[in-house]
Amino acid sequence: MSNLKSVAGQPIYRRIVLKLSGEALREPGSHETISPLIATRIAKEIKQVRELGVEIAVVIGGGNIWRGLTASHRGMDRTTADYMGMLATVINGMALQSALEQLSVVTRLQTAIEMANVAEPFILRRAIRHLELGRVVIFGAGTGNPFFSTDTTAALRASEIRAEVILKATKVDGIYDSDPKINPGAQRYDRLDYTEALTKRLKVMDSTAFSLCMDNRVPIIVFDMAECDTIRRVVCGEKVGTLVTSD
């Protein structure tokens, strides 16, 4: 965690990775894959945090367009299906980049699979320099390898750029001891350590992503993206969602 002291309205993190699911761009109940209105709302929240001086990298999934694992379970070659999923994350990254640029936020989209006409290749030093210059960096195409999720991408990129925290946006307001949609009595955790989350088999991230965070001591905050202003509140140290840490 950052050494910055908590001051009301001021950020306690200097550099963050925001992990969004592809579904975050979909309008609830709509068949539309990407909602420009939702992309704009997310972009506005990112801009608000960027204006506080926070360096922001974004990793976005592609599940609103394509799920490689689901396709592989239906008989498609897993490697092919996963590469298709990586391309879906680039589409979402371009949508978010466009929304940010409409708000005059300088943005760079970097991809783990080279596609020079639409994005820069992922180069660690270049990504860090973009962040230092105040640009929002969106990481697309996962890790560039099949069999890895965008959760793993977020954990890997956070470790590489030395982010102080991963903010994982979900559809629930934290981590529960059971599914709150099924069990009305499910209890939400305010704080967990990695070992406890692993022992209880709580669905924080997939095992590879979680291990990366644990090994590199990158804390994770799980929160509900549907609530307005949550990114700013989390960055400013308010007790929102569930914190998973080694402390």
More confident residue, 147 or 200: 147
With 50 as the cut, is the pLDDT of residue 1 above it? no
Lowest mean pLDDT among 41-50, 59-68, 111-120, 175-184: 175-184
List pLDDT tens digits, range 168-181: 999 889 999 888 88
Confidence of residue 42 (pLDDT cuts 50, 70, 90): very high
**Domain range annotation of the chain:** 15-245
pLDDT of residue 184: 87
Angstrom CA distances, 161 to 63, 91, 121, 130, stand at 25, 23, 15, 11
Superfamily of domain 15-245 in the CATH hierarchy:
Acetylglutamate kinase-like (3.40.1160.10)
Confidence of residue 64 (pLDDT cuts 50, 70, 90): very high
With 50 as the cut, is the pLDDT of residue 30 above it? yes
pLDDT of residue 142: 96
pLDDT of residue 4: 53
pTM recorded for the entire structure: 0.92
Confidence of residue 73 (pLDDT cuts 50, 70, 90): confident
Residue 123 DSSP one-character state:
-
Mean pLDDT over the full length of the chain: 92
List pLDDT tens digits, range 124-141: 999 999 999 999 999 999
**Pairs from 189-197 (Cβ < 8 Å, separation ≥ 24):** 189/242, 190/239, 190/242, 190/243, 191/242, 191/243, 191/244, 191/245, 192/242, 192/243, 192/244, 192/245, 193/244, 193/245, 193/246, 193/247, 194/244, 194/245, 194/246, 197/244
List pLDDT tens digits, range 95-122: 999 999 999 999 999 999 999 999 999 9
217-239 b/e (C-beta count within 10 Å ≥ 16 → b): ebbbbbbebeeeebbbbbbbbee
Mean pLDDT of 227-240: 93
- How far apart CA 210 and CA 216 sit, in angstroms, is 10
